[in-house]
Structure 1
Amino acid sequence: MSTPQPSMPQAQAAVPNRQAADGSSYPGYTSPIPVVRTHLGNAIASEWTKIRSVRSTSWTLGVFVLLVIGIGLGVAALIAANASTESMRDQNPLSFGFFGVLLGSICVITLGVLTTASEYGTGMIRTTMVACPTRGRVLAAKSVVFFAVAFVTTLVSVLVVALADVALLDGARTPTGQEWLRGTFGISLYIALLGLFSLIIGSIIRHSAGAITIMIGVVLAPLVIALFMFSRSLEGLRQALFEYSIPNQLSVFYSNSLTETGPSGWDPLWIIIGATAAAFACAFALLEKRDV
């Protein structure tokens, strides 16, 4: 004897999640899984969790703070102990923070590269892209989080050095308002943008060691090459390398340029903004074309 088959309504009732053949869903059924539309804020929260969880952040920023504050205070203390009051009369006390910032910038560059390139090295970028398929949003979130962290860390460090140097070098002149602004807020923006430029280069190169090497070359190579250009026929190129080298652009913020011509005032900030914007456009285009 054959077993009687259940009617269609009974079969559908036995499987409450089953979709009807005509495409209509069951009335009154609500999925237990909430559907939430994600946005840039979700990606930023994810990248913030990443950057504060990895050891490279604490190590690189820790060394950065040590270099900026340690060298800045050390140089100021050494000058205060050996320089005469007459020789310090025309000196901007904020300018002695330059040495620590220049060396510390290597740490910010390293962290910027690792923020993107390390994920390609470990393969975790695949997980990131699965969680957030909008690739441009991932790059934007990394950029926002890194820039904020680098800017705040730099600003706090250079502000401590600036206040301490002014107190130690009481024979030096009092910095103007513009010098305070450029020597604290301006230099912090520049270092954060330099690190952001490194982050974008890391996204383009997708190799940590290679991107870090390129960025160190960008920072130091023009000045080193210019120092060894002795030919008169190369004088124009030599001068340009001096003027637009990153060490010279950093010194401009402290009103202590290495050359009498070239960038001045806030010019270095506009230069790094333009370079970073161009690199970001290139990275975004490549991100959309490449496979992860």
Structure 2
Amino acid sequence: MSTPTAPGPRSPLTPVSDRGRWRRLGCAIAFEWTKLAGVRSTLWLLATGTLLTVAGALLIGASARASGVNGYDTATPAPWIAAQNISFTQVAILLVAVFAVTSEYASGSIRTTLLSVPSRGSVLLAKAAVLAGGSAVTGAALVLLGTVSAAAVAAEYGTYTGAQLGHAVLGTAISLALTSILALGIGTTLRNTAGTILTLVVILFALSSVLPIFGQAWLTDLVAYLPGSAAGALVTNASEPYGPAAALAVLAGWAVAGLSAGYLALRSRDT
């Protein structure tokens, strides 16, 4: 009777099964989640974003009510007030995405990450999955919290429908998830916190104000295809300048472009 022999070590040339790839990616995601959740700055940034959301929603809601009482037509659905406020408080959420990669380069811990997860594509995908999921959940929760806060002070001037709340929650979750991936891609490309933040500020805020100044029609039209404009259309379910489906495509295009640039930079450099 022959004795079964244990399989030898797998050759580096032996293909990895699909199940093995998914298992490794799952481990990489768990690794990235542990790192992100264990950093104190993450909690501080999320707490700051929450406070800014509540404070801004209360302020805008109270302003809408005061103006309405004085005869001005300032009625705005409370979910839109919350989403409008998050367009500024999203900075706290995006900083989490920026620090998730640039802080590793600043401290040199990126070497440990690449030793733990040798596949650079898996590293970037794991970071993207954690940041996108965390940003989506946080964004949805902040819209709900901001809606309750705004509706409480705006009274009848903040009346909203379930459809409006659903669009605001889902649109904010998706837009923050995709914008976080864009921030990750830029951070991986530049490897510098200040440079990444400046680039994000230009793309998300500055260009929409600067481009129309030149008086060129094509530059003005380009503003509609910036991430901020697409996010606004996605949150409010607007039909102009395009609908939610086109807005999703625009945001996804920015996210894919940023992540692709980050992957090329990560793959072409030693660390």
Q: Do Structure 1 and Structure 2 share a fold, with TM-score over 0.5?
A: yes
Partner amino acid for 1:248?
Answer: S
Residue 217 (structure 2) aligned to one of 235, 243, 246: 235
Partner amino acid for 2:102?
Answer: A
Kindly indicate whether residue 259 of structure 2 is the aligned counterpart of residue 280 of structure 1. yes
Larger radius of gyration: 1
Residue 151 (structure 1) aligned to one of 132, 136, 139: 136
Question: Quick one: distance in 1 between partners of 2:177 and 2:236?
Answer: 20
Which runs of 5 or more residues in structure 1 are unaligned?
Answer: 1-26, 29-36
2:236 alignment partner in structure 1: 255
Question: Quick one: distance in 1 between partners of 2:51 and 2:245?
Answer: 27
Provide TM-score, normalisation by structure 2. 0.82
Change over 3 Å in CA distance of 1:128–1:222 after alignment to 2: same
Q: State the shift of 1:256 in Å.
A: 8.8
Alignment of 1:1-292 (within 5 A): 39-84=24-69, 87-88=72-73, 91-172=76-157, 174-229=159-214, 231=215, 234-241=216-223, 243-255=224-236, 261-292=240-271
Partner amino acid for 1:160?
Answer: L
Provide TM-score, normalisation by structure 1. 0.76
The residue matched to 2:250 in structure 1 has which SS? Answer: helix
Which runs of 5 or more residues in structure 2 are unaligned?
Answer: 7-19
Change over 3 Å in CA distance of 1:179–1:133 after alignment to 2: same
Partner amino acid for 1:288?
Answer: R
Partner amino acid for 1:190?
Answer: S
The residue matched to 2:218 in structure 1 has which SS? Answer: helix
8 Å CA contact 1:244, 1:262 repeated in 2? no
Q: State the shift of 1:282 in Å.
A: 3.0
Change over 3 Å in CA distance of 1:248–1:87 after alignment to 2: farther
Percent identical: 26
Question: Quick one: distance in 2 between partners of 1:250 and 1:84?
Answer: 31
Partner amino acid for 1:78?
Answer: S
8 Å CA contact 1:113, 1:200 repeated in 2? no
Q: State the shift of 1:227 in Å.
A: 5.0
- The RMSD of aligned alpha carbons is 2.7
Partner amino acid for 1:122?
Answer: S
Structure with the larger helix share: 2
Partner amino acid for 1:152?
Answer: V
Q: State the shift of 1:76 in Å.
A: 0.5
8 Å CA contact 2:237, 2:244 repeated in 1? no
8 Å CA contact 2:33, 2:130 repeated in 1? yes
Q: State the shift of 1:206 in Å.
A: 1.2
Question: Quick one: distance in 2 between partners of 1:211 and 1:223?
Answer: 18
The alignment of Structure 1 onto Structure 2 pairs a total of residues equal to 252
Q: State the shift of 1:90 in Å.
A: 6.2
Change over 3 Å in CA distance of 1:239–1:139 after alignment to 2: closer
Question: Quick one: distance in 2 between partners of 1:79 and 1:58?
Answer: 31
Question: Quick one: distance in 2 between partners of 1:88 and 1:164?
Answer: 20
The residue matched to 2:156 in structure 1 has which SS? Answer: coil
Partner amino acid for 1:151?
Answer: A
Q: State the shift of 1:117 in Å.
A: 1.4
Q: State the shift of 1:249 in Å.
A: 3.0
The residue matched to 2:252 in structure 1 has which SS? Answer: helix
